[in-house]
Amino acid sequence: MKSWNSNLTAGASILTIFAALSLGPVVMATTHLGHPPLTDLNLTNIAPFTNSEHILGTDAMGRDLFSMLAWGALGSLSVALVASFTSVFVGNLFGSLSALLGGFVDNIMMRLVDCLLAIPPVILLLTLSTFLTAPEFTAKLPLFLCSLLSVSASSDGLLPLFTVTVAIAATTWLESARVARSRVLSIKTEEYCTAALALGDSNLQLLRRHLLPALVTTAVVEATLLVSDAIIMESGLSFLGLGLGPQTPSWGSMLRDAQVSLIQGNWWGALAPGLAIVLTVISIHLIGQGFLELRSAKVHGHIHGVGLKAR
Amino acid sequence: MLSLIVRRALSAVPMLFLLSIVSFCLIRALPGDPVDVMLGSAQKEIAPEQLSMLRAEFGLDKSPESQYWLWLKGWFYQGKASASNIQGNQQNQINQADLKKSTALGLSYRDGRPVKDVIIERLPATLALVGLALVISFASGMALGAALACLSLLSERDGPLAVWAARAETAAVTLTLAVYSAPNFWMAFIAIAIIARSAFLAPLPILGLHAPGEDATALGVLGHLILPALLLSARRTAKIALFIRSLAIDEIGREYVLTALAKGLSMGQVIVRHVLGNCLLPIVNLAGLSLPGLISGSVLIETVFCLPGMGRLMFESTLGRNYPVLMGLFMLYGTVVVISNLLADIASTCLDPRLKEAN
């Protein structure tokens, strides 16, 4: 076996580039220079590689595409990462609780998950994000959120980040809840769990000490693969106008802006964020693939279709 | 077998009931009063009595439980209650029974038409789009997957051909993965841009269901739907292809293939007689699971291509807090998904005797 997994390396390096790109805005934000690129109506629709100041060109509103991409990377990646890890955590917690409680409660909890799974994800996502972005809800939230994060009330851009993240997490936790439930049901019968129960552990102690640690490995792989779905979901949501706004640009909202300027012949404005999404999602698949290969080269070798021929 | 099917079908009924409760709660949890959203800033000029009359007409003054109960009863009144519209109710003395029926049936808040009519009007476009996409994704996905698997089999042999096969396989798999990674609405407007910019492709139909000023003929509508359906199915096709590739490689690596080869069968015979049958089960399951994804995608694709489908209706109703329409759509989508899962379940039970015994 090679000491370096080529899929993992390739995926990780692509992702690192985008992560580095998104660090730019973070650094700027901490030095109080940070705001998304401003519109400059004198410089609209500059084609890429023609202007030394704007290497990737500008969009229909005269914003530099490269810095927009960097800000978009920050928005998209942070939403996707936080949303997927939250959703996998919630899903695992829900699933293992359901398996532990058993009986009637388990039945109800799982039927609830089944019901929500029957609603197509984007439909659920739309409803949830309309719920979260309605003024009745958001008017109360900023104060609470600001006091929670101890940031100044001027950072309004945080609000859409929060709502989009919650909406995506609330849509995607269902699958992992099911997986976690079936895993816990099988782990629970293993001897060390029986031993722990015999030693007087309560269900909650069992969950904390033995079950959740046992779930961590699969959960991390699950979350990594979910990041790609979350990125695509976020872009769709922003495209429909329910996602991130101009204060916190994302690749999805760049695509929405680009749809308008496409008519003006500005194809690069649509191409760049789309390619960024494609590359990121591919890199995440490669990383997930690499993980699986490292874990068990034979069985899972080609679950996601790339690489290794398990023979 | 029949009893199994009946049992499965019956188990879907409480599921749908629960679905109606869950979606009712979800929809009513949306903040904002439909009347407020509908009237917007004009609300200030309208007398409070009229506002409350409007609310009473929609049944919004009742408690959520009784609203849900009325909605549920509507399913059984559906045949009898005709579309008595709001204006009629307003002018006449409001007959209590009539009001009950009309609210139970569910009238769209937006234009006062029965929800059933509103949805049925939008149904054909989405049905055609999703159906076409389902067919395309399975036909092309299976062909592509088989081709990829063949390439990977070729690449294991010796000789210069194998090297090329290996390269082609890597390229094809990467490309398929790229298609799987691209949001479909993005591909859609790149496609529109390409078609609009090239003189050769420009006559192709892009937007809407039929050309403006023309009647919708079946052929014309089909022509307009091909591109959206193709783009809607793209991600699904890629996923199916990758899935089938890995499935086929997995199956061909099994011992029974070796045994069959040792018996003296050719590789082609082994694949037709043994491997295909074993691959069928996961594919059927995948077919049952692919509907929610396609329906999700249809919301975005309909937006990009200006198709008058249910996805658009769904989006508009969410923004306008059109509760009855939303409720109808949720139930319709949920029912379709539940039924497709049921069909996949039944089909896989038919295919696999082990599952039959387990039941």
Q: For B237-288, what is each residue's pLDDT tens digit? A: 998 898 888 888 888 888 888 888 898 888 888 888 888 888 888 888 888 7
Who has greater pLDDT, A193 or B353? A193
Mutate to test the interface with B, among A6, A122, A138 (most CBs of B within 10 A): A122
> Is the minimum CB–CB distance between B171 and chain A shorter than 8 Å?
no
A131–B243 CB contact, under 8 Å: no
Q: Cβ of A133: how many Cβ atoms within 10 Å?
A: 20
Overall average pLDDT of the A217-241 stretch: 86
Residue of B nearest to A311 (CA): B253
ipTM of this predicted complex?
0.78
Mutate to test the interface with A, among B36, B185, B331 (most CBs of A within 10 A): B185
Amino acid A143: pLDDT: 62
DSSP 8-state symbol, B183: -
Residues 6+ apart with CB under 8 A from A301: A292, A293, A307, A308, A309, A310
Task: Express each pLDDT in B304-323 by its tens digit.
Answer: 888 888 888 888 888 877 78
Q: Does the structure show a pLDDT above 70 at A204?
A: yes
Residues 6+ apart with CB under 8 A from A137: A131, B31
Amino acid B332: pLDDT: 87
Q: Does the structure show a pLDDT above 80 at A104?
A: yes
Question: Which of residues 94 through 133 in chain A touch B, CB cutoff 8 A?
Answer: 111-112, 114-123, 126-127, 130-131
Task: Express each pLDDT in A248-283 by its tens digit.
Answer: 788 888 888 887 777 777 778 788 888 999 999 888
A103 Rama sector, left if φ>0, alpha if ψ -120 to 50, beta otherwise: left
Give the residue ranges of chain B where pLDDT is below 70: 30-34, 36-44, 57-59, 74-107, 110, 112, 202-203, 210-216, 357-359
Question: Which of residues 219 through 278 in chain B touch A, CB cutoff 8 A?
Answer: 241-243, 245-246, 249-250, 253
Task: Express each pLDDT in A2-39 by its tens digit.
Answer: 456 777 788 888 888 888 777 776 666 555 455 666 66
Amino acid A27: pLDDT: 66
Residue of B nearest to A234 (CA): B183
Amino acid A310: pLDDT: 35
Amino acid B169: pLDDT: 87
Of B18, B186, B326, the CB nearest to A255: B186
Domains of chain A: 2-310 (1.10.3720.10)
A131–B31 CB contact, under 8 Å: yes
Residue B114 DSSP SS3:
strand
Q: Taking every pair of C-alpha atoms in chain B, what is the biggest distance, in angstroms? A: 89
Amino acid A95: pLDDT: 92
Amino acid B221: pLDDT: 77
The CA distance from A252 to A250, in Å, is: 5
